Structure 1
Amino acid sequence: MTSTGHEAQLRIPEGVLLGHALVGRLADSLGIRVFFIKGPASVIQGLRKAKISADVDVFVDPTRIEDLLQGLYERGWRQRPVDPDDRTFPKHSVTVHHSAWPCCIDVHFRFPGMEGAAHECFTALWANTVHVELAGQRLRVPSKALGILFLALHALRSRDLPACREELEYLAVLTWRESLAEALLELASATGALAAVRPFLEGLLPEATTAVWPEPSREWHNRVAAQAPGSARLIAIAQASWRDKSRMLWAAIFPPREVLLSANIYADMSLPGRLDQHGARWWRFLRAAPRMVRNLRGLR
């Protein structure tokens, strides 16, 4: 207890480390294979410059995700509201939060850009994990090559942002210095990530190495193009059948409450509060309109 009589609150860096320990011990107790991606482990491995992580990213065996989530629910964690439109926003993780914790836990069952079948993809990923000491626990994390693949795919989704360009440059130097390009190629092939990672990896491969690069999927094209607020919805509506367009347009104009709560779980859901949030959404949309037009032209 603090001197004021209130319970001491976890700070974000502490919460993230303890969150890793919590999920790791829970998974061990249930016999579930998990490993942690991005976050503090990537800093320990030298894959990222020092930075504070805001949440816990864990990749779980897709066949056991419900078991892990149930274990978290029993410990007071609750699923964060999400947009129910999984056509516009294909799901790759489940995010849970806890009223006493300052961070969320993102439970991944797939990763954007890795488009291999779920079971085969996880098998390839699990075979390329190593142990590190983190938060007083011995936890599994990606090998250096796999860690680079995860971080590169994450940055490639928004590679026009200065921070993402800087991260890709840092990863490129690391890949070249440690001669990891061919290992990256093998991992990308095994996980169905060749098309997505090509802009990063192609120029790093030795001249003698040849690769067959598949075309990026529509999902990946859309993720990369949808950089401005609202552009993902416009892209999905443009690509939808005429039968679905009107329904999707209605949902975009009058979104369900989950959409508002997905941005802020403590959002004011009274009528005045919802009106304020709708006004803010439209303001963001109008400000981003020129950029969205460029996105749609690029997709054509």
Structure 2
Amino acid sequence: MTHASRRTQLEIPEGVLLGHALVAGLAAGLGIRAFFIKGPVSVLQGLREAKVSADVDVVVDPVRLEDLMQGLHERGWRERPVDPDSRTFPKHSVTVHHPEWPCCIDVHFRFPGMERPDCFESLWANTETLELAGQQLTVPSRELGVLFLALHALRSPALPACRHELDYLADLTRREILAEELLEVARATNSLAAVRPFLEVLLPSSITVVWPEPSPEWRNRVAAQDPGSARLLAILQAPWSEKPRLLWGALFPTREVFLSGNIYADMSLFGQLRQHCARWWRFVRALPRIARSLRKLSASGD
């Protein structure tokens, strides 16, 4: 690569900002309702401390998902390989990449923790606009933005970064007295069960809430924090007729499994063998933690 070409190469922060503008312009041109979550919009709203985002996260009207994807394909964006096992990893977004861009775009057609399948209208009713990269972008209201970030952090609550984010969001919610508004949005999206660990302690004692039980998908997401644990959970919970197929997929994953983590992974025979060995070593090392997680999950389901 020449010195001149290095100067013209997009850096990640530039790519993310321009990616927001690209998707916003494309959606507006096609008449598609879409709004942006997490990332720089959350920083601008004051919902998250300043940090560099590595991708663009957009929520799109599910009925127009294919139209937006077609528009991105026409502009050179291609879907990243994904694990074909949708039972173990229920899909909630489509990730696309471009060889000339340093970031990906995650197009969400639903969001983990929001269990109501047709909640886009409720989400859209809780949006506002702000300017980013010279574009007027549609973004979540403050309470909906807090809900998105809290649900994302609650998927891995043991991680220090996620605990810090939840503490930051809790302080903001108390300062701005957002808890009751957050409760209403959580009800509208059927995310009360998932957000309960965050929201319950923030609500006034005068408010009584009937907290539903979390769905199996959400419980599995939270429990599956270690390598291989999600596949093991899926095998244990699957009907006997499906167990052989899932077990085979766990032992001998397809190429897409490796490429989903790294689109530039070495797919030669030696490269795949090396990745298989590394994969099994991570699983063996994580077995004690997986066993503890499974015991906790079993106890919570009793």
Q: Is the 8 A contact 1:2 1:8 kept in 2?
A: no
Aligned equivalent of 2:174, options 173, 176, 184: 176
Aligned residue number for residue 137 of structure 1: 135
Displacement after TM superposition at 1:5 (Å): 5.3
Identity %: 73
The answer to whether 1:15 aligns with 2:1 is no
Q: Residues 3 and 265 of structure 1: is their aligned pair in 2 closer, same or farther, counting only changes over 3 Å?
A: closer
Residue of structure 1 equivalent to 2:147: 149
| Residue identity matched to 1:254 | F
Match of 1:284 in 2: 282
1:272 corresponds, among 248, 270, 288, to: 270
Answer yes or no: is the 8 Å Cα contact 2:80–2:95 preserved in 1.
yes
One-letter code aligned to 1:61: D
SS in 1 for 2:106: strand
- Whole-angstrom CA distance in 2 between matches of 1:9 and 1:284: 35
1:205-216 to 2 correspondences below 5 Å: 205-216=203-214
Contact 1:153–1:197 (Cα < 8 Å) also in 2: yes
Q: Which amino acid aligns with 1:75?
A: R
Deviation at 1:8, TM superposition (A): 2.1
* Unpaired segments ≥5 residues, structure 2: none
Offset, 1:166: 0.8
What are the equivalent positions in structure 2 for 1:45-64 lying under 5 Å apart?
A: 45-64=45-64
Note the alpha carbon deviations across 1:190-238, whole angstroms, 9 max, x for none: 0010000001001111111111110000000000000001100001101
Distance in 1 separating the partners of 2:238 and 2:41: 40
Compared CA separation, residues 181 and 6, structure 1 to 2 (3 A): closer
Aligned to 2:110: 110
Shift of 1:2: 6.1
- 1:70 is matched with 70
Distance 1:268 1:228 in 2: 23
Q: Distance in 2 between matches of 1:69 and 1:289?
A: 39
Once the 2 structures are TM-superposed, how far is the Cα of residue 150 of structure 1 from its aligned partner? Answer: 0.3
1:158-208 CA distance string (max 9 Å, x none): 111111111111101100110100000000000010000001001111111
Match of residue 234 from structure 2: 236
Give the drift of 1:153: 0.3
Q: Say which SS state the counterpart of residue 76 (structure 2) adopts.
A: coil
Whole-angstrom CA distance in 2 between matches of 1:3 and 1:11: 15
Deviations 1:83-124 (A, max 9, x none): 000000000000000000000000000000001122xx1000
Indicate how the Cα distance of structure 1 residues 147 and 276 shifts in structure 2: closer, same or farther if over 3 A, else same.
same
CA displacement at 1:295 relative to structure 2: 1.4
What amino acid does structure 2 have at the position aligned with 1:207?
S
Supply the AA of the counterpart residue of 2:78: R
1:37-56 per-position Cα deviation (integer Å, ceiling 9, x unaligned)? 00001001110000000100
Distance 1:171 1:4 in 2: 43
Return the alpha-carbon distance in structure 2 between the equivalents of residues 6 and 148 of structure 1.
Answer: 38
The two structures, once aligned, show a CA RMSD in angstroms of: 1.2
Measure, in 1, the Cα distance between the counterparts of 2:5 and 2:177: 55
* 1:187-206 mapped onto 2 (5 Å cutoff): 187-206=185-204
Q: CA deviation at 1:3?
A: 3.9
Call closer, same or farther: CA 1:249–1:177 in 2, change over 3 Å. same
Aligned to 2:40: 40
Deviation of 1:9 (Å): 1.1
Distance 1:5 1:20, change over 3 A: closer
Q: Which amino acid aligns with 1:58?
A: V
Q: Which amino acid aligns with 1:35?
A: F
SS of the aligned residue for 1:296 comes to helix
Tell me the SS of whatever aligns to 1:242. Answer: coil
Query: What is the DSSP-based 3-state SS (H/G/I as helix, E as strand, rest coil) of the residue aligned with 2:15?
Result: helix
Greater displacement, 1-10 / 164-173: 1-10
Q: Secondary structure at the match of 1:243?
A: coil
> CA contact under 8 A between 1:36 and 1:57: conserved in structure 2?
yes
One-letter amino acid of the counterpart of residue 108, structure 2: H
Give the aligned residue type for 2:88: T
Q: CA separation of 1:4/1:233 partners in 2, compared to 1, >3 Å: closer, same or farther?
A: same
Instruction: Supply the distance in 2 between the matched residues of 1:279 and 1:68 (Cα, whole angstroms).
Output: 39
Q: Which has the higher mean CA deviation after the structures are superposed, 3-12 or 165-174?
A: 3-12
User: Following superposition, which runs of at least 4 residues in structure 1 exceed 6 angstroms of deviation?
Assistant: none
| Shift, 1:16, TM fit | 0.3
* Residue identity opposite 1:221 in structure 2: R
